[in-house]
Amino acid sequence: MLSYLPQEYRLKVGRALHHAWGALEYGDALGALKRLQQRVHRINESAGRALAKGLEETLTVHRAGAYMALGRSLTTTRVITRLAQRLCGRLRQRSDWMPSDQRSTFMALDLMAMEAGMYRLGHAAYLPALREQLTGLNQPHSTRI
């Protein structure tokens, strides 16, 4: 979304996104993102549409009422990106000779080997409750924590 914007707006809009996502309550975060989306839409319609398209999805942890417990651990994709890079590096070493039906097996083995060196997710004890809450969000009359 930021790539649609002129260079002089990117830093300011990026900070505003970070600030909105850092709100503790779902309503506050949603309101801040909607206001930002309107401002961005006036600057560049494509950027405004891109922000509007994924607005709700970016607040999943907020909507589940789990931001206080898991917000810091789940607000970045850096961990996933690093894992994917390491896994691709390992698979690339054997891709020339490995049959395609064995790739998933080797990927699982590589992940198990890499697990020992991985950092643990902070507040991982909250993950089962988050899973239940997210499952409940998709049902018509769910209750929130």
Percent of the chain with pLDDT over 90: 28
pLDDT over 60 (residue 142) = no
Answer whether residue 5 shows pLDDT above 90. Answer: yes
Place of tokens 């790539």: 3
pTM exceeding 0.75: no
Contact call for residues 5 and 43 (beta carbons, < 8 A): yes
Domain map (residue ranges) of the chain: 2-63, 70-137
**What is the per-residue pLDDT across 77-99, written as a single tens digit (0 to 9) for each?**
666 777 788 888 887 777 667 77
Give the whole-number percent of the chain exceeding pLDDT 70.
80
